Amino acid sequence: MTTTAQQPATPVQPVSPGSPEEPAGQPKVVQRPGDRIFSGSTLAAGILILVTLAAVAIFLVAQSLPAFTADESDIKGGATNFFSYVWPLVFGTVWAAFIALLIAVPLAIMVALFITHYAPRRLAQSLGYVIDLLAAVPSVVYGLWGIGVLAPAVQPVYNWLVENMGWFPLFAGPVSGTGRTILTVGIVLAVMILPIITSLSREIFLQTPKLHEEAALALGATRWEMITIAVLPFGRPGIVSASMLGLGRALGETMAVAMVLSPSLIISLVLLQSQNPTTIAANIALNFPEAHGVGVNILIASGLILFVITFVVNFISRAIVDRRKAFSGAN
C-alpha cells in the first residue's frame, strides 16, 4: 500500500487595498487633480459667502448698539426713541414694495405667457430681448424718468381719482401738485422689477412638459384652458420665487425712490397726497452725508432692520417654494 506525501499548504497572501488583485466589486476611486481643485474651489466659495454674510451681520449689529440707547435729541423727525423713528421707515419700505409687486406680478405673468404661448417666434424673441434690456437700465435713469416723464403724465389721473373717488380712503385728497407720490414710486419700482419677474416666469413656463400641454389640448381644452390647468400649476413655485426676487429688489431700491418721492416720517396709506412715507434705503441715502456721531449709528441700525426684513422675506419665499416642490412635471 503506497502512501502519498502531503505537500505543505501555501499560505494565502492578503490582498492589500488598491492592489491589482483587489476584488472587482470594490473598484478604487481615483480622484483627478482637476476634480480636487474644482471641489475645493466650490467649497471655498460657499464658505466665503457664509463668512461675508456673517461679517456684514456682525458689523451691522455692532454699529447699531449705540442707536438703541440714543438720546431723543440725537434722533431726527421728533421721535422719542429709535424704534419710533424706524417704524415709519419700515412701513414705507414694505408699502412701496407691496404696491410695486401688486402692479408688476400680474403684468409680468401676462407678458411671459404672451411670449411663450401666443406671440410668433420672431416677435417673442424680440420682445424677450427688450424685456431683458430693461434690467440693464441704471436706477438713476429710472429716477429721472419718474421725475421728468411719469410724474407729470399721471398728475391729471391723480386729479381725476381724487375728484371722483376721493371717498375711497386710498384716494383721499388733497392731491399732490407735483405727482411725486408713493403711488408714482410704486409704478417706477414695478417697471424696475418687471424684467426680473418676466424673465424667470418665461423660463419656467418654457419648462412645462409638452406631454401635459398636448394632453390638455387633446381632451378638448382651449389654449387658455390648457394654460390654466397645465402651465400655471406647473410654474407656480417659479412664479413665487421670481416674485420674491423682485420684492427683494424693490425693498432695497435707493436712488429711484430718493429722487422721485417727497418723503416724510409718517405712516399713511393714502396714495396721492404730497406727504408720503419714505423707505429705509432712501432715508439712508438722503441723510448719510450730513450724519455724524450717533446719527451714523442710527442710520446703520435702520440698515440692520432692512437686512432683517429681506432675510424674513427670503425665508418665507423658501418655505412657500418648498411646500409646492412636491408638484413636478414628471409625476
Per residue in 24-57, pLDDT (tens digit) is: 556 666 677 778 888 889 999 999 999 999 999 8
Spacing of C-alpha 145 from chain mean position: 23
Q: How many H helices and E strands in the chain?
A: 12, 2
Provide the pLDDT confidence category of residue 187 given band limits of 50, 70 and 90: very high
Report pTM.
0.81
Answer yes or no: is pLDDT of 106 > 80.
yes
Pairwise CA distance, residues 244 & 260, whole Å: 24
Q: What is the mean pLDDT of residues 75-79?
A: 74
Spacing of C-alpha 232 from chain mean position: 20
Specify the pLDDT at position 331: 40
Specify the pLDDT at position 330: 39
Burial of 198 (0-12, 13-18, 19+ CB in 10 A): buried
Specify the pLDDT at position 99: 93
Answer yes or no: is pLDDT of 118 > 70.
yes
Which residues are 264's β-sheet partners? 277
Dihedral angle over CA of 78, 84, 85, 91, nearest 10: -130
Pairwise CA distance, residues 155 & 274, whole Å: 12
Pairwise CA distance, residues 319 & 240, whole Å: 11
C-alpha cell at position 229: 390647468
Pairwise CA distance, residues 152 & 145, whole Å: 10
Residue type at position 70:
A
Better-scored residue on pLDDT, 278 or 5: 278
Provide the pLDDT confidence category of residue 14 given band limits of 50, 70 and 90: low
3 state DSSP class of 277? strand
Report the percentage of the chain scoring pLDDT > 90: 18
Answer yes or no: is pLDDT of 100 > 90.
yes
Per-residue pLDDT reduced to its tens digit, 235-254: 888 888 888 888 888 888 88
Provide the pLDDT confidence category of residue 188 given band limits of 50, 70 and 90: very high
Better-scored residue on pLDDT, 28 or 260: 260
Specify the pLDDT at position 176: 82
End-to-end CA distance of the chain: 78
Cis peptide bond prior to 174, omega within 30° of 0: yes
Look-up: residue for cell 414628471? 330
- 291 Cβ contact list (under 8 Å, min separation 6): 298, 299
Better-scored residue on pLDDT, 156 or 72: 156
Is residue 308 within 8 Å of 60, Cβ to Cβ?
no
C-alpha cell at position 138: 441704471
Cα dihedral sign, 79-84-89-95:
negative
